[in-house]
Amino acid sequence: MSELSNPVPEFGSRPEDLSSFNETINSINSHNQQFSLANLMANAMLDHIDQAERTQELIEAGATPEEAEQTIDFVGSEKVPLSEEEQMARSIVGLSNAPVLEATGLTLSPLRVTGTVFNGKGQESVGQVRLQIADGSKFSNFLLSVDPENSDDKFQKNAEAVASNLIQEAKDAIAKNTDEETIVETLLYAPGIIAGLEHIGLSDSPITEKLRTLHDHAQRGDIKEYVAADDIGLLKDPAKTQFGPAQWQRDATGEFLTAHWDTVLEIIKAAKINPNASELSEQLIDSARDALKYAKADWSKTKTERAGSIDDYGQDFDKIFEKVTLELQFISSPDTE
C-alpha cells in the first residue's frame, strides 16, 4: 500500500519563501549599486590614483617616466573590461537566485544603459538590471499565496520594486515598438498581479494604480499613445512636475523647445486618428493646454526677472508658444476628425 505524499506548498505560502524573495531582490540591488555610475566613477578615480602611485614607484626604482607608463599600461591591459565584469556578475546573480526566479516566474533583464564611463579601455556603458516577467501566472500565484500577516514592510517594498520593474520593461518595449514576450505576460496577467498586490496590502500603492492604468489602456487599444504621453510627463499636473512640457523653457534652446513641443503635438495627432483613443486624445489636448498655459506664465515671469540681461536667451520662445497654441486649436477642431 502506497503512502500519499504531502502536496508541495505553493511558493510564497511560507515565511522562508518571503525571506528568499527578499534576499534575491537585495542581491539584484547590490549588483546595480556595484555597477552604478557614481560607484564606477569613484573606482575610476581610485584606479587613476593607484596607477599614478605605481608609476612613481617605478620611476624611483630607476625607470624613465616613459618606461614606467608603458609598464603600467601593459599590466593594466589584462584587467577584465567593465562590460564583461558586469556580465559575469549578472550571471552569478542569476544562477545563485535561479530557484527563486523560477518559482516566481521572473527573469533578469539585459543591461539597461543609464550612463557612460570613460577609462583606459575607452567608452563603456553602465546601467541597471531589472526584473522581467517570464511567467505571469507564477508571479501572480506567488503574491496570492502569501499570508497577508507575513507581508511586512520589507516584503511589500520589494514587491513594489518588482512590479515597478515589470511596468517599466513593458513601457520601454511599447515605446520602442519591440515584440517582447514581457509585454504580453505583463498585460495578460496584470489583473492577477494587481489582485496579488492588493492581497499583500498594496491596494493603495501608486505602483498598483500604474499597473491598473497600463492594463486599462491596453484593453482600450490606446496604450502606445498613453505610454508616449506618460513618458514625457504630458499627463502630470504642471504645478507638480519638475521637468515636463510646463518646465521645458526653463533651460532650453529654441530648437530644444520646438522639438519637444512637436513631440507633444505628434502624440496628440496619433491619438486623434486612433478610433480607440478618442477619450485619451481629449485628455491629452486638455493636458497640453494646461501645460502650455503654465509654461507661458512661467516664461513671462522669467522674462521679467531677466529684464536688462545682455544675453538673447529665449528670444524665440514667444513665437514657439504662439505656434503651439495655433496647432492645438487646429488639432482640437472637429474638422480634423
Report pLDDT digits (tens) over 280-334. 999 999 999 999 999 999 999 988 887 767 677 888 999 999 999 999 999 987 7
Report pLDDT digits (tens) over 56-97. 665 666 656 775 566 555 555 445 565 677 777 788 888 889
Same domain for 167 and 249? no
Same domain for 239 and 185? no
Same domain for 207 and 266? no
Q: Grid cell 498655459 — which residue?
A: 293
Q: With respect to residue 278, please indicate whether it lies within any of the assigned structural domains.
A: yes
What is the rounded average pLDDT for all residues in the chain?
A: 85
Same domain for 34 and 55? yes
Q: With respect to residue 26, please indicate whether it lies within any of the assigned structural domains.
A: yes
| Measured torsion, CA atoms of residues 103, 106, 111, 112, in degrees rounded to the nearest 10 | -150
Q: How many domains does the chain have?
A: 2
Q: Which domain holds residue 188?
A: 15-68+81-220
Same domain for 58 and 204? yes
Same domain for 106 and 160? yes
Report pLDDT digits (tens) over 6-34. 666 889 999 999 999 999 999 999 888 88
Q: Taking residues 30-50, what's their average pLDDT?
A: 61
Angle, helix 153-175 to helix 190-199, in steps of 10 degrees: 160
Per-residue pLDDT at 232: 95
Same domain for 156 and 266? no
**Which of these three, 167, 188, 220, is where a domain ends?**
220
| Measured torsion, CA atoms of residues 141, 145, 148, 150, in degrees rounded to the nearest 10 | -120
Q: Which of 117-121, 195-199, 240-244, 269-273 has the lowest mean pLDDT?
A: 117-121
Q: With respect to residue 307, please indicate whether it lies within any of the assigned structural domains.
A: yes
Q: With respect to residue 305, please indicate whether it lies within any of the assigned structural domains.
A: yes
In percent, the amount of the chain with pLDDT more than 70 equals 77
Same domain for 42 and 161? yes
Same domain for 183 and 300? no
Same domain for 145 and 200? yes
Distance CA 165, CA 185 (A): 13
What is the value of pTM for the model shown?
A: 0.81
**Which of these three, 186, 220, 254, is where a domain ends?**
220
Confidence of residue 99 (pLDDT cuts 50, 70, 90): very high
Same domain for 304 and 331? yes
* Cell numbers found for residue 115: 550612463
Q: With respect to residue 159, please indicate whether it lies within any of the assigned structural domains.
A: yes
Q: With respect to residue 6, please indicate whether it lies within any of the assigned structural domains.
A: no
Distance CA 181, CA 314 (A): 45
Same domain for 252 and 284? yes
Query: Residue 106 has what DSSP assignment?
Result: E
Report pLDDT digits (tens) over 191-207. 999 999 999 999 999 99
**Which of these three, 220, 250, 283, is where a domain ends?**
220
